[in-house]
């Protein structure tokens, strides 16, 4: 049944992120599911009520974010995937003024799926690369001399 589990996670990225259907969070994530790697400095958030503030923050910073699933594999109830997202930093959800810069973000996700719903998730994405792309890291503004 690996294909069914992969279909659930693909639906998550398509509906929740690409289509911006926040109500799909409630449809696809069980109420007590721990989700790691998305909280405000916390180790994890729990269920839709814990996930939605992080979702809203990212969508407010990058309203046009679009995820592409590069690879997805599943074994038993576990799905592993690699993704790329493109977006424009068009909102202040990161706590500072939007730069209007286009960004490309990469990341990976592992999720457990049971009975057509996400019951646990682990996320890892290149936050430092994202901050560098929008010029929010100290070394982003460093100009390197060119060879003559």
pLDDT in tens, 101-127: 999 999 999 999 999 999 999 999 988
CB 114 within 8 A of CB 146: no
User: Is pLDDT above 70 for 1?
Assistant: no
What is the bridge-based pairing of β-strands 34-36 and 78-88? unpaired
Domain that holds residue 77: 2-135
> Each residue of 32-66: pLDDT tens digit?
999 999 865 567 899 999 999 999 999 999 999 99
| CATH number of the structural domain spanning residue 66 | 3.10.450.50
DSSP structural state of residue 130: H
Does 142 map to a domain? no
8 A C-beta contact, residue 56 and residue 40: no
- Number of structural domains found in the chain: 1
Residue 42's pLDDT is 63
- The answer to the question of residue 147 being in a domain is no
CB-side neighbour CA atoms (13 Å) of 140: 11
């Amino acid at each position: 049944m690996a294909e069914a589990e992969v279909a659930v996670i693909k639906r998550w990225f398509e509906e929740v992120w690409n289509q911006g259907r926040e109500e799909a969070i409630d449809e696809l994530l069980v109420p007590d599911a721990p989700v790691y790697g998305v909280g405000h400095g916390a180790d994890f958030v729990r269920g839709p009520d814990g996930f939605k503030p992080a979702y809203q923050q990212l969508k407010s910073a990058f309203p046009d974010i679009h995820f592409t699933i590069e690879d997805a594999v599943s074994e038993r109830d576990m799905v592993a995937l690699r993704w790329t997202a493109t977006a424009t930093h068009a909102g202040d959800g990161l706590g500072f003024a939007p730069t209007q810069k286009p960004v490309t973000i990469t990341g990976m996700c592992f999720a457990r799926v049971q009975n057509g719903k996400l019951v646990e998730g682990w996320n890892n994405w290149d936050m430092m690369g994202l901050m560098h792309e929008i010029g929010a890291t100290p070394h982003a503004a460093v100009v390197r001399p060119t060879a003559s």
